[in-house]
Chains A and B, each alone.
Chain A
Amino acid sequence: MVAKAPTEERIWQLLEEVSDPEVPVLSILDLGIVRGVKVDGEQVTVSITPTYSGCPAMNTIATDIRLRLLAEGIPNVTIHNQLSPAWTTDWMSQAGREKLEAYGIAPPVDGTATGHVLNLFGKDTAVRCPLCKSDHTHLVSQFGSTACKAHYQCDDCHEPFDYFKCHA
């Protein structure tokens, strides 16, 4: 079999099929961590940006990208880890935000990143409950089940839920 050089467009299509291992409804494109794709003959380079420095999903994502491309007969893949510019939730797609909410995780509320550390005990970000859509919710803990999420509770339906923190 003669290997056909893949096109960049094809690589992007395949990346759409690689999901975030911790939030499987999101593709890595929805998440906004793919910074670029370069095809040079049979050599493919995919640049990704970690969400949080210690995110344990990054290694899994790199492996999943390799496996997905390998399944298409593309073995020569370099995963380039790009730290700068740092990832921000602004790069999360609109489709991704809708998928998150449907999955039960409140999507990031833009412009609410905790850059203002001196504002101690400041007002919590108003986050809509992804289950009953009430705005009466409160922050339980800034640190949730994974590095990218905070833990909230709804004051109307009383369900606890994850909030995908704004990170900018």
Chain B
Amino acid sequence: MQVAPSETVALNSYSPELRQQLFQYVLQLADTSLILGHRLSEWCGHGPILEQDLAMANIALDLLGETRSLYQYAAELEGQDRTEDDLAFLRLAVEYKNPLLVEQPNGDFGDTVARQFLFDNFHYHFLLQLKASPDERLAAIAEKAVKEAAYHLKWSSEWMIRLGDGTEESRQRLDKALGNLWRYSGELTTPTAAEKALQATGIIPDYAGLLPKMEAHLNHVFQEATLPVPQGVFMMTGGKEGRHTEHLGYILAELQYMQRTYPGMRW
């Protein structure tokens, strides 16, 4: 890597325990953007129309950029010899802490739009809050990423409306996508024990504070899309603690192939 990461201001003021907790959490954020970015990149060359192919590739690129900043920070927090590449490419599936939603397959364009909307609605509102984190590095990463996440949310919201309030078929497909994916949406805002501990320090935002704005935006989009908001669905969790659906292993097999086959390979 030719660009040196920013110097860290606050690292030394953290206790070893807090530093370890923060390391795990930053990894979780990095894994989330990496896996979703990878999923979106699978569309490259296969999009329904050229403009949307480009849009998904652009969003993937933004997420991968965010991921790099996060893995670089994670590597510094860990303070061992691991680099951002080691963290991204040489860990096992159970060590990945991304929520289950982002590893779900692309399916058709409706599945991808639904997955993206559920994620963006969280990501954007989350980053808006993370910008105010007392951890200067996380705040800086969020400040950068939130501008991009705003474009993503606008894109996925508008497509939710086009497809939901579109043709009979587009509506049916989106409805089916939501029927499958909704169960993974709750994990985003359900804190794990590790997240609760960090929320108590004030370094990361309390997810409960995000919910009113997320719900308001979601309700608006669903109303415009003439879709009912699913109710009473049992929410799947576990990804953030390393318990994944079968899909993650397949993603990693492809994502890690080069580094596993040619260890230490660089651009």
Contact = CB atoms under 8 A, between A and B. Distances in A.
Contacts of B224: 120
Contacts of A58: 3
B65 A62 contact: no
A117 B3 contact: no
B62 A54 contact: yes
Interface stretch (A12-20, A74-82, A91-99): A74-82
Nearest to A78: B4
B236 interface: no
Interface stretch (A102-110, A126-134, A142-150): A142-150
Contacts of B147: 86, 113, 115, 167-168
B145 interface: yes
Contacts of A87: 144
Contacts of A86: 140, 143-144, 147
Closest 3 CB pairs of A and B: A54-B65, A53-B65, A84-B140
A141 B124 CA distance: 20
Interface of A: 48, 50, 52-56, 58-59, 62-63, 66, 78-87, 113-115, 117-118, 120-121, 140-145, 147, 151, 167-168
Interface residues of B, number: 44
Contacts of A59: 1-3
Dominant SS at the B interface? helix
Contacts, number: 114
A81 B144 contact: no
B220 interface: yes
8 contacts: A53-B65, A54-B61, A54-B68, A81-B3, A118-B217, A121-B161, A141-B54, A151-B54
Given A79-B4, A80-B4, 11 more contacts: A53-B148, A54-B63, A54-B65, A62-B2, A79-B3, A81-B5, A81-B6, A84-B143, A87-B144, A142-B55, A167-B147
Interface stretch (B16-24, B150-158, B247-255, B256-264): B150-158
A52 B65 contact: yes
A148 B10 CA distance: 31
B51 interface: yes
B74 to A, nearest CB: 15
A126 B161 CA distance: 24
B139 interface: yes
Interface string B1-35: 11111110000000000000000000000000000
Contacts of A56: 61
